[in-house]
């Protein structure tokens, strides 16, 4: 495919959302190439509806495999409707979370198994793989403290409400994923200040879009 597929990953509270917004602005300033900025869970109308079901804090009964399947179903729709057509057109796609999130959160932290979750996602994405992934690394307790700080602005979702031990496992999961495919990842220490994190992320993205 002609496009460039970049994903951003990390535990909750790593500061992805504000970083993605800034990167989006910088890419638009620096290149004439069309850019699609998107996110998961969600990213298309149907997938956003599935997102609501997954993250609803009232859905305490949701089984771990149901969660993984819903995420993969939303992802399928997102890939078919938005990501794949954009890459076929030659656009840059910047996606906040993708399959790595499911492998870390559902595979490792929920304990379904990383290979099992990889397999159901393979069914959904049919071989689509990011060209590069920025991984914002932050210890679980720091990430969760940041979320608590922002709590007055918005309610926490069902996954953010998990214990710190769950989020520790998410980070372990990411470390395993990175060890298996190190070339795809740019690891950024997200405990640093926002400006430094942005500069490091932009350096990587700038080199990718200039290639």
DSSP states of 90-151 as a string? T-EEEEE--HHHHIIIIIIIS-S-HHHHHHHHHHHHTT---SEEEEEE--HHHHHHHHHHHT
40 binds ligand TMP (CB under 6 A): yes
Which residue lies nearer to ligand TMP by CB, 41 or 130? 41
Smallest CA-to-CA distance from 13 within 209, 192, 160 is with: 160
**Residue 87 neighbours by CB under 8 Å, 6+ apart:** 1, 2, 3, 4, 5, 93, 128
107 binds ligand TMP (CB under 6 A): no
Which residue lies nearer to ligand TMP by CB, 24 or 209? 24
157 binds ligand TMP (CB under 6 A): yes
41 binds ligand TMP (CB under 6 A): yes
43 binds ligand TMP (CB under 6 A): no
Where in 46-105 is the site for ligand TMP (CB under 6 A)?
55, 71, 96-97, 101-102, 105
Least Å from the CB of residue 190 to ligand TMP: 13
211 C-beta neighbours (distance < 10 Å), count: 7
- Write down the H helix ranges in the chain: 16-30, 45-55, 64-78, 84-89, 99-102, 114-125, 140-150, 164-180, 194-210
Give the count of residues interacting with ligand TMP (CB under 6 A).
15
> What is Dmax (Cα atoms) for the chain?
47
Binding pattern to ligand TMP, positions 163-202, x when CB under 6 A? Answer: ----------------------------------------
124 binds ligand TMP (CB under 6 A): no
Which residue lies nearer to ligand TMP by CB, 91 or 101? 101
Distance CA 108, CA 103 (A): 6
- Contacting ligand TMP (CB under 6 A), which of 3, 5, 6, 12? 12
Binding site for ligand TMP (CB under 6 A): 12, 16, 40-41, 55, 71, 96-97, 101-102, 105-106, 157, 159-160
């Amino acid at each position: 495919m002609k496009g460039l597929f970049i994903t951003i990953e990390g535990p909750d509270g790593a500061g992805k959302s504000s970083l993605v917004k800034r990167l989006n602005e910088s890419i638009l300033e620096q290149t004439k190439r069309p850019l699609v900025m998107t996110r998961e869970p969600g990213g298309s109308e149907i997938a956003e509806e599935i997102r609501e079901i997954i993250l609803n804090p009232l859905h305490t009964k949701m089984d771990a495999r149901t969660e993984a399947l819903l995420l993969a179903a939303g992802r399928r729709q997102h890939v078919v409707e938005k990501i794949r057509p954009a890459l076929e057109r030659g656009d840059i796609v910047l996606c906040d979370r993708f399959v790595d999130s499911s492998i870390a959160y559902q595979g490792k932290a929920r304990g379904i198994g990383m290979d099992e979750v990889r397999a159901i996602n393979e069914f959904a994405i049919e071989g689509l793989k990011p060209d590069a992934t920025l991984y914002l690394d932050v210890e679980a307790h720091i990430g969760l403290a940041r979320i608590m700080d922002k709590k007055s602005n918005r309610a926490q979702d069902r996954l953010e409400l998990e214990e710190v031990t769950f989020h520790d496992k998410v980070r372990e999961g990411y470390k395993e994923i990175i060890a298996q495919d190190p070339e795809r990842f740019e690891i950024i220490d997200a405990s640093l200040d926002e400006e430094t994190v942005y500069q490091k992320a932009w350096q990587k993205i700038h080199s990718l879009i200039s290639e």
